[in-house]
A and B are shown apart, each in its own frame.
Chain A
Amino acid sequence: MAPTREVAVVSYASWSSPAELQRNEVEMLMPVVAEAVADSGLPREEIGFTVSGSCDYLIGAPFSFVSALDAVGAWPPIRESHVEMDAAWALYEAWIQIQKGSVDSALVYGFGKASSGDPSEIFTLQLDPYTVGPLWPDTISVAALQARAWMDRTGGSEQDLVEVGARSLRNWAWANGVDLEPDAVDVLLAQPTIASPLRPGDIAPDTDGCAAIVLAADDLARELAARRDLRPAWITGIDHRIEPQALGLRDLSLSTSTTLAALTAGLADGPVDVAELHTQFSHEEHILREALGLEDGTNVNPSGGPLQANPPMTAGLMRIGEAAARVMDGEAGRAVAHATSGPCLQQNLVCVLEGEDA
């Protein structure tokens, strides 16, 4: 037994802002879902399955996904589910439902507003509530432990970290047509650390945003993409793995779960033109490059990545969308997207996308 259906990303839309103070989640989500659905070429009511990812705690209420359903227009009633995870895992669930054969297409969306609270404090509540959480280590300090572990093992320097942030900024500027100061690395390195060795340029900014993807299977995907003169971004492999959370139970300088997921996803079966990595801190790119076995020729985070825009519960799905977009427009033949959840890369998803039929 093995999954047999060919599944592809056929449309992707996203939106983000440092702080969206005018609109609530539903208002923020509605145009993005509408865009992804319209671009897919599938009428909304013909999409077989809908699934989303979000986190209640961001708005401090018990059911943030409930009202988000208003952005979809769930009438007549729809087949629908929700994961309390980054929406990259919602996409995995959609892929499973399509593999099961009960539906041929799916709408996946994720949303999160960092501006509703303090994410660094909120995500501290992910830690073991009996032993670690009561100490209130904020997420940046916890990540700094990992950065230090990576530097200690590899001899990497703070400049190696900052260079990741500087390149992310350059890529973002290039992708968005913005002129940049030439000495960005020096500027970033001159900033004081927030939690040593991490400086502001090493840390993903608080962001509000959302993203939506439409998946389709087999000939439906071919037909939908052909209508727009694009090629489908075929998901040739997808897997995700988790590690123990306790920081003392794993080697923080490695990401073994990423390596395991990449193995099942068949990442090593071919060259990788583009990698979109869910790097919320600069050191994570170094750890993930190693865990994924990426060669120097791979273009990492051409979009700028999460270090420029990191909406919670959404930035992972955005990686799949950005990687798929590079494949769909022909810029990349083969791309990998990575999503993460939990402190210090605890849980990781790897998705391989290819332009030619699998």
Chain B
Amino acid sequence: MSGERVAVVGVGQTEHRAVRTDVSMVGLIREAAKRALADADMTWTDIDAVVIGKAPDMFEGVVMPELFLADALGAAGKPMLRVHTAGSVGGSTAIVAAGLVQSGVHERVLTVAFEKQSESDAMWALTVPTPFQAPLVAGAGGYFAPIIRAYMQRADAPDDIGMMVAVKDRLNAIRNPYAHLKLPDIDMKTVEESPMLWEPLRYLETCPSSDGACAMVLASERVADAAAKPPAWVQGTAWRSEPTLFARRDQVNPQAGRDCAADVYQQAGITNPRADFDCAEVYVPFSWYEPMWLENLGFAEPGDGWKLTQSGATAFDGDIPWNPSGGVLSSNPIGASGMLRFAEAANQVRGAAGEHQVEGARRALGHAYGGGSQFFAMWVVGADKP
């Protein structure tokens, strides 16, 4: 990995809900940021720069909301950057923030990602007809369903794998006090009986719309070495993008995702992801994306991803737990969903994940993707310095 060492020394997130009527956007981001600062044993004045990320501005109806939020994040007089890379933005934002430390420019960077979907309507915002562009048609689920069907056919996967992921992640969420969906009684039958939205995706196989935010404090080696709580050392970061539409593009197993994983694994010295990682927080907004990303990220051979899910390997007590926090299927403040993956991975290797702590976790993957799965952002964090 290039540049100066960087570590996560503080993590904070909000309670994620369908509608957070108790807070404005200002209150929402401050809830996460203040928790991250408290976790890092820092105050606003300790921070050198702020990096904020969120998905499309139409999700709240405010153009570049970081401008009016700058003061609330203690950014007055400081540098502030705003990142937007579609659904992968929470991950990209963390990578930009890490870069400010790795470049030697700053020592303490506050990064925040949020979405307050209840301010506007994401389904509407994603369905606006744009001249010269193929319509998304009824939001993200309508876009991804045919790709999932292609996966099922290609991998010859049983029909119930998606439902297994939906049950697993929702049961994991019960151990996460911040999670939006709490469905303690969920089982295969309730998922199967929920309405079919976009064949083969049922209502309960789909992520919710959430209001929420996530924040982290990233620090230089000097600062992290002096931190009271264990830091999560960033062992590698990578991002990749590819064009949305062209004939050779494999949307089921995108090249950009494979390249991104290869890059970040090479930086962190990962040769066998299933064995080398203790857990992974992976962006799975629709149930079937677990087996698909298991293959894309090299945890399973092409065609075998669903077998890992089916065997229970990715369950909380499996050999490679995926989304012990409950994942995107349980909380989805879109712009923050990627950063939540990065932050949950960091908390696992800090031993700070609470009831959903994977015992003895020392190395974890944080993953985010966006758009029509042409944008990827990943990092590897560990208890040890790179």
Instruction: Kindly supply a per-residue 1/0 record for chain A positions 200-241, scoring 1 wherever the CB is within 8 Å of any chain B CB and 0 otherwise.
Output: 000000000000000000000000000000000000000111
Tell me if A43 counts as interface (CB < 8 A to partner B).
no
Residues on A with beta carbons closer than 8 Å to the beta carbon of B96: 81, 93, 96
Contact across chains for A67 and B133 when beta carbons are under 8 A apart: yes
Interface size on A, residues (CB 8 A): 68
Residues on A with beta carbons closer than 8 Å to the beta carbon of B79: 239-242
Partner of A346, one of B2, B4, B67, B246: B67
Contact across chains for A82 and B244 when beta carbons are under 8 A apart: no
Partner of B62, one of A92, A125, A260, A347: A125
CB distance from B136 to the nearest CB of A (A): 9
Residues on B with beta carbons closer than 8 Å to the beta carbon of A67: 132-133, 244
Within 8 A of A (CB), among B2-49: 2-4, 24-25
Contact across chains for A1 and B4 when beta carbons are under 8 A apart: yes
Given contacts A3-B105, A260-B77, is CB(A78)–CB(B24) below 8 Å?
no
Partner of B58, one of A56, A65, A101, A128: A56
Residues on B with beta carbons closer than 8 Å to the beta carbon of A178: none
Given contacts A57-B58, A83-B84, A242-B76, is CB(A96)–CB(B63) below 8 Å?
no
Tell me if B70 counts as interface (CB < 8 A to partner A).
yes
Residues on B with beta carbons closer than 8 Å to the beta carbon of A75: 242-243, 246
Partner of B76, one of A56, A130, A244: A244
Which residue of chain A has its CB nearest to the CB of B238?
Answer: A79
Given contacts A61-B128, A123-B63, is CB(A77)–CB(B241) below 8 Å?
yes
Partner of A78, one of B3, B57, B240, B244: B240
Residues on B with beta carbons closer than 8 Å to the beta carbon of A97: 99, 103
Contact across chains for A93 and B81 when beta carbons are under 8 A apart: yes
Tell me if A102 counts as interface (CB < 8 A to partner B).
yes
Contact across chains for B241 and A245 when beta carbons are under 8 A apart: no
Residues on A with beta carbons closer than 8 Å to the beta carbon of B2: 100-102
Tell me if B86 counts as interface (CB < 8 A to partner A).
yes
Tell me if A142 counts as interface (CB < 8 A to partner B).
no
Q: How far is the CA of A60 from the CA of B61 in the complex (A)?
A: 11
Partner of A244, one of B70, B92, B260: B70
Tell me if A19 counts as interface (CB < 8 A to partner B).
no
Tell me if A136 counts as interface (CB < 8 A to partner B).
no
Q: How far is the CA of A150 from the CA of B76 in the complex (A)?
A: 21
Contact across chains for A133 and B62 when beta carbons are under 8 A apart: yes
Instruction: Kindly supply a per-residue 1/0 record for chain B positions 133-176, scoring 1 wherever the CB is within 8 Å of any chain A CB and 0 otherwise.
Output: 10000000000000000000000000000000000000000000
Q: How far is the CA of A4 from the CA of B4 in the complex (A)?
A: 12
Contact across chains for B243 and A69 when beta carbons are under 8 A apart: yes
Residues on B with beta carbons closer than 8 Å to the beta carbon of A56: 56-58, 84
Which residue of chain A has its CB nearest to the CB of B59?
Answer: A62
Contact across chains for B103 and A3 when beta carbons are under 8 A apart: yes
Tell me if B64 counts as interface (CB < 8 A to partner A).
yes
Contact across chains for A66 and B244 when beta carbons are under 8 A apart: yes
Partner of B103, one of A26, A100, A245: A100
Tell me if B125 counts as interface (CB < 8 A to partner A).
yes
Instruction: Kindly supply a per-residue 1/0 record for chain A positions 295-318, scoring 1 wherever the CB is within 8 Å of any chain B CB and 0 otherwise.
Output: 000000000000000000000000
Q: How far is the CA of A80 from the CA of B242 in the complex (A)?
A: 9
Given contacts A59-B130, A63-B86, A75-B243, is CB(A347)–CB(B80) below 8 Å?
yes
Partner of A100, one of B70, B99, B107, B244: B99
Q: How far is the CA of A66 from the CA of B24 in the complex (A)?
A: 29
Contact across chains for A127 and B68 when beta carbons are under 8 A apart: yes
Tell me if A187 counts as interface (CB < 8 A to partner B).
no
Within 8 A of B (CB), among A87-141: 89, 92-93, 96-97, 99-102, 122-123, 125-130, 133
Contact across chains for B64 and A85 when beta carbons are under 8 A apart: yes
Which residue of chain A has its CB nearest to the CB of B222?
Answer: A1
Residues on A with beta carbons closer than 8 Å to the beta carbon of B342: none
A-B pairs with beta carbons under 8 Å apart, 28 shown: A1-B104, A2-B104, A50-B241, A56-B84, A60-B130, A61-B128, A62-B56, A65-B84, A69-B244, A75-B246, A83-B83, A84-B64, A84-B84, A89-B81, A96-B105, A99-B3, A99-B105, A129-B68, A240-B79, A240-B80, A241-B77, A241-B78, A241-B79, A243-B70, A245-B70, A260-B77, A342-B67, A347-B70
Binding site for A on B (CB under 8 A): 2-4, 24-25, 55-65, 67-68, 70-71, 75-86, 92, 95-96, 99-100, 102-105, 107, 119, 125-126, 128, 130-133, 220, 238-244, 246, 254-256, 259-260, 371, 374-375
Given contacts A65-B84, A127-B68, A257-B77, 6 further A-B contacts (CB under 8 A): A61-B130, A69-B243, A89-B82, A129-B68, A245-B67, A341-B67
Binding site for B on A (CB under 8 A): 1-4, 24, 26, 50, 55-57, 59-63, 65-67, 69-70, 73-85, 89, 92-93, 96-97, 99-102, 122-123, 125-130, 133, 239-246, 249, 256-257, 260, 341-343, 346-347
